[in-house]
Amino acid sequence: MDNPGTATPETFPAQERLASGAQYIAGRFAKGTSGRTHAVVDPATGTDVYTYELAGPEDVDRAVAAARDAFPGWAGTTPGDRSDALHRFAAVLADRAEEFARAESLQCGKPLKLTREFDVPGTIDNTAFFAGAARHLQGQAAAEYSGDHTSYIRREPIGVVGSIAPWNYPLQMAAWKILPAIAAGNTIVLKPAELTPLTSLLFAEAATLAGIPDGVINIVTGTGQVAGEHLVGHPDVAMTSFTGSTGVGKRVAEVATATVKRLHLELGGKAPFVVFDDADLEAAVNGAVAGALINTGQDCTAATRAYVQRPLYEAFVERTAALMETVRLGDPFAPGTDLGPLISHAQRDRVAGFVERARGYARVVTGGEAPGGELKAGAYYRPTLVADAPQDSEIVQSEIFGPVLVVLSFDSDDEGIRLANDTPYGLAASAWTGGVYRANRATREIKAGCVWVNDHIPIISEMPHGGYKASGFGKDMSAYSFEEYTQVKHVMFDNTAVPRKDWHRTIFGDR
């Protein structure tokens, strides 16, 4: 059921503040110098909401220089001082929560209820988490492991971090990259996706209002080919963190390797949703629809491949299709909307292409089309269920990034787990079962960075997010993420009362 809605999205409330430009360098908004402009488009209506000048290499250089200059002072602050600053940051974000929610909905097409209840509160919680984590940058004291010497470990910030964030969760992805980096004492230059820069810019502005020094957080908004590559290859950038497709991630790794940077990659996913024959069918159906359609399917952990043990297969397909047909597409600012548009018409056409090609080898049970009427101008696509596709087919193996769930059957537990692992990806998965043995086996044998049991999608700040295999390496959120933005130093003291002057004889002998 479609819902064109009656609410009209308000004019982006930060429009006047962003009139100075979509770059944020050394605590100030600035215009890009590439000579090219780009428009942020409301994907629900296809209308431009903000036009800005793209960043060029010179803007990246200025941002990196600002981060480099700010690094000694920020790295020299105490963990307690950084913690206090991040607590103030969380308070500013909370005060501006509605502005962030509206900006995120406007640029992404997300339902406002999703940004209000998930994206923005999750970002505030993440900020509060890293405010606490900043006080736990622990080294490790050690005993005299080698006789007359004492060793200990220091954890130190790395330097300037260059990060690239995607368009599907622009606010949360900016937070996941910025917060652990600065909590550990680094400074950062973030390049958001050119489609969705608004909340990243507001995030940096909020940090300045919270008292985080100029230059600690910098935003450059440009294309990946120009601003992104220049940032990754910059000699003064010590670490690169990238979230995006596996194909682009390979290029990021190639460029970063030339300057031997620390590298963090969170890449694509094709999450399996494995339903064993002892599962609660109603719970699994509801979990599949929610897990597949979250953020209009534009989520690298979304449920995309449902493997259902044969006794439940037909009932699962029937009930999942019926539930999908009740999902309400519509105006993201309308209270009754369940699902918004895809990020762009180009992305909608890409998703539609996967489904149209699948009609030649699989069964499209429901969906498989863009709605007409009052939603025609937006980048909408109906929730789609595809059944009976071969395991080696494109729609099963490739990341679609849209509201499409593919359902396949399996017979034995061995086969279900084998099929779950049978893609290049390994970011997330879920297992649905009433049996402890099956749950333990699935969580042990499915190769993914997160395996949910009888649920799909929830994340928390205290636990890590990151993948196996072609889904990349490194973790976002949690203490594991915090440690990735540090480097480990071994310090060793000679404890003898009189410093030894004959140590060289141990190596060279008498001369």
Cβ neighbours, 10 Å, residue 325: 14
Residue 328 in contact with residue 1, Cβ under 8 Å? yes
Give the span between the Cα atoms of 83 and 153, in whole angstroms: 22
**CB-facing half-sphere around the CA of 133: CA atoms within 13 A:** 26
Residue 105: which of 329, 343, 419, 432 has the closest Cα?
A: 343
Give the span between the Cα atoms of 223 and 192, in whole angstroms: 9
Give the span between the Cα atoms of 165 and 171, in whole angstroms: 9
Using left for φ > 0, alpha for ψ between -120 and 50, and beta otherwise, residue 468 falls in beta
Give the span between the Cα atoms of 413 and 390, in whole angstroms: 18
Three-state helix/strand/coil letters over 253-278: HHHHHCCCCEEEEECCCCEEEEECCC
DSSP labels for 96-108?
THHHHHHHHHHHH
Give the span between the Cα atoms of 68 and 186, in whole angstroms: 9
Residue 54 in contact with residue 227, Cβ under 8 Å? yes
Q: Which of 53, 266, 399, 484 is catalytic?
A: 266
The yes-or-no answer on residue 266 being catalytic is yes
Give the span between the Cα atoms of 262 and 276, in whole angstroms: 41
Give the span between the Cα atoms of 474 and 465, in whole angstroms: 8
Residue 22 in contact with residue 53, Cβ under 8 Å? yes
Give the span between the Cα atoms of 493 and 501, in whole angstroms: 15
Give the span between the Cα atoms of 324 and 208, in whole angstroms: 44
Give the span between the Cα atoms of 120 and 96, in whole angstroms: 10
Give the span between the Cα atoms of 81 and 399, in whole angstroms: 43
Give the span between the Cα atoms of 416 and 308, in whole angstroms: 8
Q: Which residues are catalytic?
A: 266
